[in-house]
Structure 1
Amino acid sequence: MGLRREGLISAIKAAVAAYSGCTANHPPIARGIMTWLAAVARLREEFLRDGFVRDDTANFSTIVHHPKMLKIAVANTDENTGHPVADPTNRSKKGELGRRAALINQLSLPFGGLAAEPEDAKLPGFSTWYLCIYVHGDTVRAELSHPTKIENGYFSDWSERLVLIDSDDGWRRALTPSSDDGDGPEFSVVVTRK
């Protein structure tokens, strides 16, 4: 797909920081909106240099890689995010664009066995993946997933789920820089009093 894991983790970190910045004085909806806004912005900051472009067609804010026919969107999802058996779903209802994205994803699968509308089956489309993020208190989970079905506005089936952060321990590991972070050699700083 051409997505760097560290770029995705950076978007998740931005979402968590936005969530953490909300207080009891913010309206209840603020945490969801702020996490989504921060993650979308950071995805763009991270991946525009890698051949992706911003796309806000019909207010569906994504990054798009035209040659690869690939879109990446962000969704706040539930506690099943990153769970090995249970499937996550979105926290807020998706509209027609979400339904069409899932249908196009389904149409791209081999051996579909689909009950698609003829006009939908003819649509050329981008494969849409979602960076699914769950934040609740100190719990953070995330995955990059490919939905193929939406029922009543909520994701109900996935063709693939790539778990990025699966537990609290996974979040702690994501916050810890790897031993080879590419920032060059380490050096010691000596601090003395004058």
Structure 2
Amino acid sequence: MVATHLYVDEIEINTRLSAFDASREELINVVREVVGARADAVDDDPITAAGLFAYIHGTRNTRALFRSKGWRHERRENIEAVRHPDRNLKVIYQSVDVACDEKHVPQAISGKGSGAERAIDQAQGSLFADGELDAVTFEPVTAPPSGVWFLCVSVNGEDVRAELSKAAGVSNGNFRQFEERIFIIRQGEWENVRVKGDIEPDGVEFEPVIRRK
């Protein structure tokens, strides 16, 4: 049996994320953009607006983060991703039902199609049958990350969570398990990281300068 590797300790989280050229704070900033975009939906919008805004801004900001580090756009079989320039490593934004629950496998809100299944199988290989990743270990993986990873974000009212995780495969239209799960925002942490990210006024006021032409 192969275990799902969990990263919950801050030091181990930061160490693993450094292999992506990213930090926890940078990924939290992506989540802030997602939550803000969802809040832009109003009653007169289509019922799917909040989810669509989350997907658009999640994908946009995930790409912007990694492209600032030299990664590249990738778009195959209608799957929007960002890819490392030299390694077999890509990241995809994904809205899920619940993230960062050790007893629950995140499920994509909109499900996963055959394109995602092929992408994962090609990158990760069809290594695991259903149920073979039921065990959990907190021991970190030392090999550089590779394959298809998902920035999984769940927003349920004030309960906002996020993890960066490597899918083991797709079955019946959704994720069946993950090889690695890096917990970014756990249950109860959103209030603190949200407040930390707020911009506080510095007390300085600026007067506009008007020049005559």
Deviation at 1:104, TM superposition (A): 3.2
Is residue 61 of structure 2 the alignment partner of residue 61 of structure 1?
A: no
Report SS of the residue matched to 2:92: strand
Describe how 1:30-41 pairs up with structure 2 within 5 A. Answer: 30-41=49-60
Match of 2:176 among 156, 166, 189: 156
Kindly indicate whether the alpha-carbon contact (under 8 Å) linking 1:105 and 1:147 is maintained by their aligned counterparts in 2.
no
What is the count of residue pairs matched by the alignment? 167
Corresponding residue for residue 150 of structure 2: 130
Q: Deviations over 1:18-54 (max 9, x none)?
A: 1111112211111111101001111122221212111
Is residue 39 of structure 2 the alignment partner of residue 20 of structure 1?
A: yes
Report SS of the residue matched to 1:61: strand
Which structure would you say has the larger RCO, counting Cα contacts within 8 Å and 6 or more residues apart? 2
Relative to 1, partners in 2 of residues 1:190 and 1:142: Cα closer, same or farther, differing over 3 Å? closer
Describe how 1:84-103 pairs up with structure 2 within 5 A. Answer: 84-103=102-121
Identical positions, percent: 26
Paired with 1:145 and 1:159, the residues of 2 have a C-alpha distance of 8
Match of 1:173 among 192, 199, 208: 192
Paired with 1:105 and 1:139, the residues of 2 have a C-alpha distance of 32
Paired with 1:28 and 1:19, the residues of 2 have a C-alpha distance of 12
Structure 2: gaps (5+ residues):
1-19, 131-145, 206-213
Paired with 1:147 and 1:76, the residues of 2 have a C-alpha distance of 14
Relative to 1, partners in 2 of residues 1:103 and 1:175: Cα closer, same or farther, differing over 3 Å? same
Q: Deviations over 1:85-111 (max 9, x none)?
A: 222111112112210233235428xxx
Q: Which deviates more, 3-12 or 33-42?
A: 3-12
Kindly indicate whether the alpha-carbon contact (under 8 Å) linking 2:128 and 2:168 is maintained by their aligned counterparts in 1.
no
Q: TM-score, normalised by structure 1?
A: 0.77
Q: TM-score, normalised by structure 2?
A: 0.71
Deviation at 1:172, TM superposition (A): 1.8
Is residue 125 of structure 2 the alignment partner of residue 107 of structure 1?
A: yes
Paired with 1:89 and 1:3, the residues of 2 have a C-alpha distance of 24
Paired with 1:152 and 1:75, the residues of 2 have a C-alpha distance of 17
Structure 1: gaps (5+ residues):
116-125, 179-187
Describe how 1:115-126 pairs up with structure 2 within 5 A. Answer: none
Kindly indicate whether the alpha-carbon contact (under 8 Å) linking 1:74 and 1:132 is maintained by their aligned counterparts in 2.
yes
Match of 1:143 among 156, 163, 173: 163
Relative to 1, partners in 2 of residues 1:113 and 1:140: Cα closer, same or farther, differing over 3 Å? closer
* Aligned residue type for 1:11: V
Paired with 1:52 and 1:72, the residues of 2 have a C-alpha distance of 10
Paired with 1:176 and 1:92, the residues of 2 have a C-alpha distance of 30
